[in-house]
Each structure stands twice: as structure tokens, then as C-alpha cells.
Amino acid sequence: MKDFLNFEKKIDVYFKDKALIRTAFTHRSYLNENPAVGFEHNERLEFLGDAVLELASTEYLYKKYPQKTEGEMTSLRAALVNTIILSETARGLGMNDYLLLSKGETKDIGKARQYILANTFEALVGAIYLDQGYSVVFSFFDRFLFPKLKEIIEKKLWIDAKSFFQEKAQDAKGITPSYKLLREWGPDHAKNFVIGVYLENELVAEGEGRSKQEAEQAAAHAALEAKGWGK
């Protein structure tokens, strides 16, 4: 069994209930392969952490940017808590080294691992919240997640890619883009979606996300790159 003490030192959060941090890192596949271990997977903590993350990021944006509109803050929040940023943050914290996965999942280091890391990050948030309370969670975000807003704003990653791609497509082609669900998988509380963006019958690009809206934004970003219609 993994020892999480070094990870606790890294994030400067020391769990009173050590079972919570272990659960946060336990993927469902690990229990399918090791049913006798006698503890639960992280999906309930992920559900809780997702809500805590939304509240904390909303509070931070509300206080940090008093001049920004509701729509701008919504876009910034979506850019901050998407799969890419959360998985990058998790990877930067070394969370990959502590995942409890099945042998099959251990071998997959592509997109599937990105989703697992993002989900585990949310589960860790839920665990910190239960064990330490909201103020400690907020401090954790303040050190490791909220600083990423600087890059998001500088690179304009928060701009609504769907609206921008529609504007460009109408100007260049006289066509309004359409979006189609291509694939979806995962349990109800943690669905993953692949959306295609089309100009008439042309599939311009695909995007993945944990909601249809996130996948559409990813598809629009990819389509802007594919067409060379950068911001």
C-alpha cells in the first residue's frame, strides 16, 4: 500500500483521517482487481470535490475581479476547472505517483490518464474539505490552482471559442457551425464526451470534455487551430 506522507508534506496538508486520502487516490478499477482490500473508490469524494471546487473558484473570481461581468467570470471559471488544467495541476503535484489503479489502467498514459488525474484532483479536494474544512481547501487552491489564472488570461484561454469560431466561419464561409455528439462513456456522475464541430458536412475538428459544453469548447478551439483562425 502506498505511503502518502511525502505527498502530504508536498501540499502541506496532514490528514487526520488517513483513510480519506487513500480513498481519494483509489480508482474504481483498482477495487475491481483487488476486491479484498476493504475500502471504497473515490467517486463519491469526486462528486463532493467538484461542488467545493466550483464554490471556491466562484468566490475567488468574484473577489479578485470586481469589474468582470457574470459571463466573463463564468468563462474564466470554466477555463480554470476544465480537465486539462486540473490534470496538469495534479501532475505538477506528483499525484500520478500515488494513483491506485488496475494493471490495465496503469499502462494507459494518454487521454484516459488525463481524466483520471482530473477526477482524482477533485476527489482530493473532497477529502481535504471533509478532513480539514473549507478554509484549508481554499488555501490549497490559492497555492496550487488559482495562480494558473494568470496564464489563462494572458493566453486568452477563457474566451468563448464557440462564439469566436462561429464569427470566423460566418465571415470566411458564410456558414454557421454545428455540433454533434460522436461518443460518450463513463458512469452518470463522471461522463466523458467527444463532440464534433461541422461546417455543413465537413468535420472540422473533435473535442473531449467532462460535459457536452466543455467538449464543444474544446472542439471549437481545435477547429480554430485547424482553420488557422487563431485569436
Asked whether the predicted pLDDT for residue 193 surpasses 70, the reply is yes
Domain co-membership, 192 together with 144: no
Distance, in Å, from the CA atom of 229 to the CA atom of 19, rounded to the nearest integer, reads 49
Domain co-membership, 32 together with 128: yes
Domain co-membership, 65 together with 80: yes
Model pLDDT, residue 186: 83
Domain boundary among 121, 154, 187: 154
**What are the distances in angstroms from CA 134 to CA 19, 40, 73, 137?**
19, 23, 21, 5
Domain boundary among 112, 127, 154: 154
> pLDDT tens-digit profile of 13-37?
999 999 999 999 999 999 988 888 8
Query: Is 70 among the catalytic positions?
Result: no
Other Cβ atoms within 10 Å of 58 Cβ, number: 15
Domain co-membership, 50 together with 129: yes
The overall longest dimension of the chain from CA atoms, in Å, is 60
Domain containing 22 equals 5-154
Domain co-membership, 172 together with 125: no
**What are the distances in angstroms from CA 170 to CA 39, 94, 202, 216?**
54, 44, 15, 18
- Measured in whole angstroms, how far is the alpha carbon of residue 137 from the centre of its chain? 17
The one catalytic residue among 46, 50, 131, 216: 50
CB 137 within 8 A of CB 51: no
Q: Structurally, how many domains does the chain consist of?
A: 2
Domain co-membership, 184 together with 146: no
**What are the distances in angstroms from CA 82 to CA 59, 76, 114, 145, 211?**
17, 10, 11, 12, 10
What's the helix, strand, coil split of the chain in %, to 5?
A: 65, 10, 25
Domain co-membership, 150 together with 182: no
Domain co-membership, 93 together with 207: no
CB 198 within 8 A of CB 178: yes
Q: Are strands 192-199 and 178-185 parallel, antiparallel or unpaired?
A: antiparallel
Query: Is 105 among the catalytic positions?
Result: no
Domain co-membership, 95 together with 55: yes
Domain co-membership, 212 together with 141: no
The one catalytic residue among 46, 105, 122, 214: 122
**pLDDT range class, residue 207, cuts 50, 70, 90:** very high
Domain boundary among 128, 154, 180: 154
List phi, psi (to 5°) of 74: -65, -45
> pLDDT tens-digit profile of 127-145?
999 999 999 999 999 999 9
Where residue 16 sits, what CATH number does that domain have?
1.10.1520.10
> pLDDT tens-digit profile of 59-82?
999 999 999 999 889 889 988 998
> What's the pTM?
0.77
Cell 468582470, residue located: 68
**pLDDT range class, residue 229, cuts 50, 70, 90:** confident
Asked whether the predicted pLDDT for residue 111 surpasses 80, the reply is no
Domain co-membership, 189 together with 217: yes
Where residue 187 sits, what CATH number does that domain have?
3.30.160.20
Domain co-membership, 110 together with 186: no
